[in-house]
């Protein structure tokens, strides 16, 4: 009897195990599909590439083993180009006359996420080509203007330099000083946080303090004049001291009076910090509008606010 019982239980376990083996998740299926497509592409093109444990492939287009090694928390400066396996070009940002893009390595500050894994293999002044499967990129997310769901990408990366956040902050402050001198803002008041405050219209009402409910109009720009966002005819309201606005904006508002207007210029450490670097860069605006991204500002960017304080109560 015991033998029959044991045999029966083993049979049930085998059936259950066999059933479990047959059940494959949609994600696992997609992994196999992606891997197969990339493997076929490399074979058809007779491309020799290295397979990383995470699942992406990479080629060393240009090596520089004497260059600095990229470490976690380094701010990496780079250029890139990006296309699909079928050759469709999504974006090219390889013009060295433009400032390189920045991201903080190892802090989930770069999309597609597979690049954050891959770039840490590189040295400064190297050029790698990455073949990223969708499960290390945008998986089932798509935008018609850029790519369909389950897209696999070919991304070229050229790393031009690394720096600490402290070094980046020093560079930002220098750029702000140069901008203020160029614009001839003689009445710019500097504060310890790095904020520059320029009053353009003195207010006559209340001066807000932490906890007050303020209503403002603002236009946010990069220092080159590019408008990032504007409230236009829809003022925004929030409590000072809450997390509804960045530190530099709140500090500037505390210096104003109702009815006043001012220009606030601030480094990224009191603005949007390391933010999130998104490739292709044209994807940022649409992802922000869809509330996928919290911020619409590029990483490590000084910003300028033109602010009107409508009310404080």
Question: What pLDDT, in 10s, does the model give residues 134-152?
Answer: 999 999 998 877 899 999 9
Helices (H), the chain: 2-22, 26-44, 113-119, 165-183, 247-253, 283-289
Q: Is residue 13 included in any domain, yes or no?
A: no
Q: Is residue 7 included in any domain, yes or no?
A: no
Residue 116 and residue 57 in contact, taking contact as beta carbons nearer than 8 Å: no
Q: For residues 109 and 235, state if they share a domain.
A: no
Q: Is residue 157 included in any domain, yes or no?
A: yes
- pLDDT score recorded for residue 23: 76
Task: Evaluate if residue 62 carries a pLDDT over 60.
Answer: yes
User: Would the CA dihedral through 162, 163, 164, 168 be positive or negative?
Assistant: negative
Q: Which domain holds residue 269?
A: 166-312
Q: Using pLDDT thresholds of 50, 70 and 90, give the confidence band for residue 22.
A: low
Query: Closest Cα partner for 267 from 209, 223, 210?
Result: 223
Number of domains in the chain: 2
Q: Is residue 279 included in any domain, yes or no?
A: yes
Q: For residues 215 and 236, state if they share a domain.
A: yes
Q: For residues 213 and 258, state if they share a domain.
A: yes
Q: For residues 114 and 223, state if they share a domain.
A: no
Task: Evaluate if residue 112 carries a pLDDT over 60.
Answer: yes
Residue 123 and residue 158 in contact, taking contact as beta carbons nearer than 8 Å: no
Does 167 or 97 have the greater pLDDT score?
167
Q: Is residue 228 included in any domain, yes or no?
A: yes
CA gap 50, 59 in Å, rounded: 6
Of the residues 119, 136, 163, which one is the last residue of a structural domain?
163
Q: pLDDT tens-digit profile of 227-255?
A: 999 998 899 999 999 988 999 999 999 99
Query: What tokens appear for 91 in the block?
Result: 């974006």
E strands along the chain, which residues? 50-51, 57-62, 75-84, 89-93, 101-104, 110-111, 127-132, 153-163, 189-190, 196-201, 213-222, 227-230, 236-239, 261-266, 277-278, 303-312
- pLDDT score recorded for residue 2: 41
Of the residues 163, 198, 216, which one is the last residue of a structural domain?
163
CA gap 117, 52 in Å, rounded: 9
- pLDDT score recorded for residue 11: 43
Q: For residues 258 and 216, state if they share a domain.
A: yes
Query: What tokens appear for 52 in the block?
Result: 């990383």
Cis peptide before 112 (omega within 30 of 0): yes
Largest CA distance in the chain: 98
Q: For residues 187 and 134, state if they share a domain.
A: no
- pLDDT score recorded for residue 243: 86
């Amino acid at each position: 009897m015991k033998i029959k019982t044991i045999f029966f239980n083993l049979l049930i376990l085998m059936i259950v195990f066999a059933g479990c083996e047959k059940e494959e998740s949609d994600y696992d299926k997609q992994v196999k599909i992606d891997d197969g497509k990339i493997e076929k592409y490399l074979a058809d093109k007779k491309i020799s590439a290295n397979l990383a444990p995470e699942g992406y492939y990479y080629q060393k287009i240009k090596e520089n083993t004497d260059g600095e090694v990229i470490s976690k928390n380094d701010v990496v400066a780079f250029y890139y180009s990006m296309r699909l396996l079928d050759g469709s070009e999504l974006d090219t940002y390889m013009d060295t006359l433009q400032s390189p893009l920045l991201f903080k390595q190892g802090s989930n500050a770069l999309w597609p996420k597979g690049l954050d894994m891959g770039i840490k293999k590189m040295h400064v002044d190297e050029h790698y080509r990455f073949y990223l499967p969708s499960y290390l990129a945008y998986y089932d997310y798509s935008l018609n203007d850029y790519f369909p769901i389950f897209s696999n990408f070919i991304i070229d990366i050229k790393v031009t330099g690394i720096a600490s956040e402290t070094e980046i902050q020093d560079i930002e402050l220098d750029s702000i000083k140069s901008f203020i001198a160029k614009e001839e803002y003689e009445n710019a008041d500097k504060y310890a946080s790095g904020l520059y405050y320029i009053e353009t219209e003195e207010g006559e009402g209340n001066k807000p303090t932490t906890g007050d409910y303020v209503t403002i109009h603002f236009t946010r720009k990069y220092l080159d004049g590019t408008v990032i966002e504007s409230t236009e005819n829809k003022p925004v309201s929030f409590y000072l001291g809450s997390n509804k606005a960045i530190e530099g904006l709140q500090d500037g508002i505390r210096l104003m009076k109702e009815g006043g207007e001012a220009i606030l210029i601030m480094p990224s450490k009191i603005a949007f910090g390391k933010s999130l670097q998104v490739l292709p860069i044209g994807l940022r605006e649409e992802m922000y509008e869809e509330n996928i991204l919290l911020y619409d500002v590029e990483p490590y960017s000084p910003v300028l606010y033109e602010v009107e304080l409508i009310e404080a109560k």
